[in-house]
Amino acid sequence: MPATVTTEPDLSSIIQAYNSVTERLKRSHEALAREVCRLRDELHEKNKELERRERLAALGEMAAGVAHEIRNPLGGIGLYASLLYRDLDDRPKEQDLVRKLSAGVRNLDNIVGDILVFAGDAAPDRERVTMGVIVEAVVDQTAPKAEASRIRIDVDPSLASAEVFCDAAQMERALLNLVLNSIDAISSDGHIRIRRDDRRADGRFLRVWVEDDGPGLDPELLHRIFNPFYTTKHTGTGLGLAIVHRIAEMNGGSIRAGSSRGGGAAFMLSIPSADDELEETLPGGSE
């Protein structure tokens, strides 16, 4: 009966297997380290955003209280100014002064209104709405000011049938603020384009760009432009873009700023798609 021969693995095979396992462990460790760094950075950004929201909430609460206190006497001033204007019908010079006073009261009331919109915490009334309706309303409202400054507003036709899930009135206000911001930046003889970004389409959001050919945005100031009361203009409250940011977040979307291809300002408003909302409510959809 022949003897059974047992072959031992040679040393080189053992070393090769050891090296292979070591290399796999090294790659796994490096991947884990990268993931830990990514999660740490993400947590840092989330904490910063949470701190920002807490600051804005406190600021909004204080601003709302002040605005309410101002609005009550302001209404009385406006009423008395209108009565005085009527009584001075035979004194045009004095009547002109009262007219300027009334204009100042209206400007203050608009500022108070912006503060209350920014500070508002009412939940959005989200529904399925056609983006074309929102864009058309914004273009109609801004047309007189744009025409007076010889500014052309072009709208991407594909937006007419795009459906989103949002509070239509709030989103109209957000888009209106963006277009008015562009008109103010251009001053005169310019071009504004409202278009859909299909390159970034993922089915979950409709991304709408508002681009202009104005002087553009200072890259060093991009991190501040959505802060409340921050403005580079000589007039205004600095709440326009802050309101856009708040509305976008309240409706489950986002807003970002950058530069257009021509060097002007570009804002991308991301709005939840109506189709994505439908998928989430169907059986088997994500909760």
Q: What is the pLDDT of residues 15-35, one digit of tens each?
A: 888 888 888 888 888 888 888
What tens digit of pLDDT does each residue of 64-82 get?
A: 677 767 777 888 888 888 8
The fraction of the chain above a pLDDT of 70, given in percent, is 82
Query: What pLDDT is stored for residue 278 in this prediction?
Result: 45
For residue 234, name the pLDDT band (cuts at 50, 70, 90): low
- Write down the H helix ranges in 187-255: 240-250
The structure tokens listed for 23 are 């290399």
Average pLDDT over residues 43-47: 79
For the whole model, what pTM was predicted? Answer: 0.64
**Is 50 exceeded by the pLDDT of residue 281?**
no
Q: Where are the domains of the chain?
A: 11-121, 127-280
pLDDT at 131: 92
> What are the Cα distances from residue 202, in Å, to 160, 197, 253, 270?
19, 11, 14, 11
Query: Phi and psi at residue 212, in whole multiples of 5°?
Result: -135, 170
Of 107, 183, 188, 106, which Cα lies nearest the Cα of 143? Answer: 183
pLDDT category at 52 given cuts 50, 70, 90 is low
How far apart CA 256 and CA 211 sit, in angstroms, is: 12
**From 1.20.210.10, 3.40.605.10, 1.20.120.10, 3.30.565.10, which CATH number describes the 127-280 domain?**
3.30.565.10
Query: What residues contact 162, with CB distance under 8 A and at least 6 apart?
Result: 130, 131, 132, 196, 206
